[in-house]
Structure 1
Amino acid sequence: MIDINKVRADFPILKQTINGKPLVYLDNAATGQKPQVVIDSIVNYYSTLNANIHRGVHTLSQKATDAYELARFKIQKHFNAKQNYEIILTAGTTHSINIVATGFTTLLQKGDEIIVSAMEHHSNIVPWQMLCERTGAILKVIPMNLDGELIMTAYDNLLSNKTKLVFVNHVSNALGTINPIKEIIDKAHKIGAAVLIDGAQACPHIKPDVQALDVDFYVASAHKLCGPTGVGILYGKEEWLNKLPPYQGGGEMIKQVTFEKTTYADLPHKFEAGTPNIAGVIAFGTALDYLNNLGFNNIAAYEAELLDYATKKLLQIEGLKIYGTSKSKTAVISFNIGNIHPYDIGSIIDKLGIAVRTGHHCAQPIMDFYKIPGTVRASFSFYNTFEEVDLLYNALVKAKTMLS
C-alpha cells in the first residue's frame, strides 16, 4: 500500500506554491519529480566522490567507479538483463534510440522494411526516417483505432520477409495506452526481425523484464523514474550490441589507438565514449532503490485508482472528450473541452497552481489522426492525490466558464 502522506513528504518540490496556490503537479509524463534521497545522492557525489571513473588509480577515482558500476548493476537487476554489459548508459531515451538507428545503417539494404507504430513519440519516428534516407529502407506504419489502440491485424499484414526492424513504444506518452509488446515482439521474431521498445513512458508505472519479453533492445530515461535528467539506458542483447558499430568515437570506448588503426573496447564501453554523467547515473541507481522499495505493484494499484477516479470526475464536465480510451492504459488523461484551445486551458489552470501539459506532446501523427491541434494532458504519479484530482476538476470548470 502507498502511504501517500509519507511519500509526499519525500518530495521537497511538492511543498511549494505556484501563483499563491499549492502546487498540483500533473505533468509526470514529461518528467517525474525527485525524492530527497535522489537529490542527496547528487550532492553527495560532488561533495565526497567527485573524480573521473575507469581511469584513475587514486582512491576517489576508484570509489567513484565502484559507485557508478554499482548503479549499472542495480539497473541490470531492475530490468532483469542477463549481463551487466548489456546495459549501455546513455544521455536518455532519444540518445539510446539514435545509437541503434545509426548502428543499423551498416546492416540494412535498399528495399528492406522497418515498422513503427502510429502512436510514437517523435524521438521514435525521426531517427528511423533518417535511417531510411541513409539506406533506402522503407518505413511502414501500424495504424491505430479511435480508442487509441494499435490494429494488430494490420501489423500482421505488414510483417514479411523484408521486415528487419520493428519499433513500438511500450506506453503512448500522448494517450497512456499500454501496447501489447510481447505479442508484437513474438510475431516479429517469427519472421526474423529485431524489435526495439521505447519504454520511457512505461517504466514509471511498469517494471519490465527484458528476458521474459525476449526483446532485442529496450530504452528508457532516468528522469521519468524519479531520477535526474541527462541519463538513460539502452538495453541490448549481447549478440545485437556486438553487431552494431560504435556510435561515437573518443576516450573510454577504445582498446588501443594508433594513427594507423583503432580497436574498440568490449561491451559496454564500446558505446560509452567520453566522460559520462557520473553523478546522474549513481542517482539513477538511488531512484530505482526508492521505487523498488515502494513496490511497483503498489504503485500500479494506487495509480489505477487515481486514473479511475479522475476519469469519472472529469467526464462530469460537459463537452470534455478524452482521447485514448483503451482498457489497458497508464494514469494519463488526454482531453479537450469543446472547441477551446488546449493552450488556453493550460494557461488558466496554471494560475491556479496546476501543472499540465498542452499541445501535440511530440506526437503530431496522433493529433492528425484525431484531427485536433493538440490536447490537455494530465499525467499522474504515485505521489498525486485524489484531492488534487478535485482541484483539477474545479480549475477546469472555472477555465471552461471563462473561455466559453
Structure 2
Amino acid sequence: MTRQLHLNAIYSAAGGSLGGWRHSDAPATAGVDFPFIAAQARKLEGAAFDAIFIADLLAVPDSHPDVIERVATVNDSLEPLTVLSALAAVTTRIGLVGTASSTYNQPYTLARAFASLDHLSRGRAGWNVVTSLIDAEARNYGAAAHLAHGDRYRRADEFLEVVYGLWDSFDDDAFRWDVGSGRAFREDAIHRLGHAGEFFRVAGPLNIARPVQGRPVIAQAGASPAGRDVAGRHGELIFSGAARLEDAVEYADDLRRRAEDAGRDRSDILLFPGLSVVVAPTRAEAEDQFSRITDLLHPRVAFGDLEYWLGGVDLTGYDYDGPLPQFPQSNQSHSTQERIYETARREQLTIRQFVERRLRTEHTVVGTPAEVADHIQEWFEAGAADGFNVSFPALPGTLDAFVDLVVPELRRRGLFREHYTGATLREHLGLARPVSRRLGVGAATR
C-alpha cells in the first residue's frame, strides 16, 4: 500500500500569527464567533484534512501589560472540547482533536468528556495530552506554582493508564437494549476499575459505552526526555517541534525506538511537524502577503513571545543588539528553551536577530504551490514526517489559499487523498482500533 500523507490544521480563530487578528479580513471577534469557526472547519473538511486541532492554555500568561493587551490568541478563545462538540454537529468526516491538561483535570472527567465527543462525532475524537506550561495555570487551580517537570509527566503517564481503563469499562457488545427482558446491558460486561496509584484513586466504571474508536486518538508533543518517554508509550499522533530536517528525522527515529521499547510497533505512531504557510501563485505575491502579515505584529509582542518561551523572563533591560543571555531553566518547556539557546549560539544571533528569525523559521514556508509542496514532499519522503500540522497566519485568507493552491498540487503528485475513504479519525490516519484491555475478562470486541 502506498504511504499516505496526512494533514492536520492547527486552528486558532485569531490566526496563527500573534498579529493575525489585526488583518483586515479577520472578524474582530473571530475567537468567539462560532459561525466563522464552523465555516473554516467545513472548508478543511472539503479538502479532506485528517483533523482540525485546537490548542489551549488555562490562563492569561504573566506577560508585560503592553504585550498582553496586544494579543488575542490566548485571551479571547473558546474552550476546545466545547467548540469541537459543536463542530461535531456541523461536520461529518473531519477529525476533531482538542487539548486538555493532565495536570489540571481528573481522569474520570476527561475520560467521560472525550468518550462523549467520540460518540457525538461517530468516531472522530482525538485528545492532545498536555501537562500544561506556566505558573499562571497553577494559580487558577489552587496551587502556588506549576508541578515540577518530572512529577507532571509521571502524573500524565498514570492519568492515561486510568483513562484507558475507564474507556474499557463496558465491553463492545455490552449494550443489548433487550426490551422484552428489560435488560439494557449484560451485567458481566461492565468492569469496575479499582485504581489506586501515586496520583489517583478511581473506582470506576465509566458511565458511558466504550468509545466508537475504542479510544479517541492520543496526540502528544513530548520533546524533553520525560516527554519523549510518555509519547513513546502512549502517543499515536506525535507533534514534532523540530525545525530542521535532520533534527526532525532524529526525533522521528527516537520516538519510534521508544515506542518499540514500550512494546509497541513503530507504525503505531505518526509524526506531524509544524508548518506555517503563506502561499500565492507567484513567489513575489507570497512574499508581499507574508510581509503584510508580519508588519501587523507589534515589536513588543515579538519580544514578549521570546520572553514567554524562555519561562517569563524580562528582556527590557538587555541590549537587543547583544547576545541572548542564558537564563536559568524554568519549570516550563525545557525542550523549547534548549532549542532557543542552541539556535542562538549556533548562529551567533543577537536578541533582535533571533526575534526577527522567529518570524520566519524552517517551520514557515512562503512561496508558490510547487515550493510549498516541495518542502512537504522532501520531509515526507525523508521520514521526518508522516503528515503536517499546518497553521494559517491570518484567517481566512491563508487557509483558503492552502486549500485552493497547495492541496491540488499535493494530489497531482499523488501524495494526498482525493477524498475521505473512512469515517473515523483512526481510519483517516490508518491506526488500528485498540482491543479492550478487558479482553479475556468477559469482554468481547467488534
Shared fold, TM over 0.5? no
TM-score normalized by the length of structure 2:
0.25
TM-score normalized by the length of structure 1:
0.27
